[in-house]
């Protein structure tokens, strides 16, 4: 049987990133809070290498960062249905729906860079066929019938995507060269937003595949791309 091909793409060109201090350096291991693991979508399940995330746009960076802060409208609607016979609502007012404190800015910085490398187009049909046939999901007990693009976008179980990241990191060609430098994927906030996860290889402070184009800039509350992300996600600043 011929194994399905892993579909890849190369040299993304200009990309953007939001981080702290120098956004292009690997995040220090002391911030890996999930039992020694980072909890990003394509981080390493075995905590051996780090992953740096980039986007084709600054808006894409902000959407990914802020997605988990969207207001839970279901929870608010359920609270509104509760009878308040004791008058507790007056003493404990409803939290501001979609309100974000300015402390979120907290020294965040952004910048652009030129990105090189080869990346697995992980949700391409051929790539998913390759991952199934190569056994990327076997250790998780996931049958082939359950593997689809939605599975690789589901944020509720990061073990799946982190295990796939580890599997792809370990793929080498006949000359013992890594097959890919990371993963190309679409944001869960929209298929129109292209993202990349760059794998750490070697001991440099940042990836040699990324060449910064500018000095990192401070993220401000009036940043146009940040405010555009707020509009998409239903967020706003509060004092």
Taking only the tens place, the pLDDT of each residue in 8-36 is 999 999 999 999 999 999 999 999 988 88
The strand pair at 8-10 and 118-121 is best described as antiparallel
Q: In angstroms, rounded to a whole number, what is the distance separating the alpha carbons of residues 199 and 30?
A: 18
**Residues facing residue 212 across a β-bridge:** 113
pTM metric for this prediction: 0.88
| % pLDDT > 90, the chain | 82
Across the range 45-52, mean pLDDT stands at 96
Cα separation of 169 and 198, whole Å?
Answer: 10
Cβ-contact 225, 57 below 8 angstroms: yes
Annotated domain spans of the chain: 8-238
Res 107 pLDDT > 60: yes
pLDDT at 231: 97
pLDDT in tens, 71-93: 975 444 444 455 555 555 555 55
């Amino acid at each position: 049987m011929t194994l399905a091909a892993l579909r890849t793409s190369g040299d993304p060109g200009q990309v953007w990133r939001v981080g702290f201090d120098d956004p292009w350096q690997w995040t220090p291991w002391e911030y890996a809070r999930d039992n020694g693991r980072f909890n990003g979508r394509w981080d390493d399940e075995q905590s051996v290498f780090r992953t740096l995330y980039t986007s084709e746009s600054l808006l894409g960076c902000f959407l990914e960062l802020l997605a988990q802060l969207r207001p839970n409208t279901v929870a608010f609607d359920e609270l509104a249905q509760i009878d308040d016979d004791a008058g507790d609502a007056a003493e404990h007012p409803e939290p501001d729906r979609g309100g974000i404190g300015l402390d979120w800015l907290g020294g965040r910085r952004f910048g652009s860079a030129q990105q090189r490398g080869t990346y697995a187009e992980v949700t391409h049909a051929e790539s998913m066929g390759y991952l199934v046939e190569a056994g990327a999901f076997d250790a998780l007990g996931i049958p082939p019938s359950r593997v689809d693009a939605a599975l690789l976008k589901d944020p509720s179980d990061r073990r799946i995507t982190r295990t796939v990241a580890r599997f792809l990191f370990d793929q080498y060609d006949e000359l013992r060269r890594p097959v890919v430098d990371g993963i190309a994927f679409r944001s869960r906030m929209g298929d129109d937003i292209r993202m990349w996860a760059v794998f750490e290889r070697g001991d440099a402070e940042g990836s040699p595949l990324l060449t910064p184009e500018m000095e990192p800039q401070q993220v401000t509350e009036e940043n146009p791309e940040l405010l555009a992300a707020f509009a998409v996600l239903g967020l706003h600043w509060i004092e």
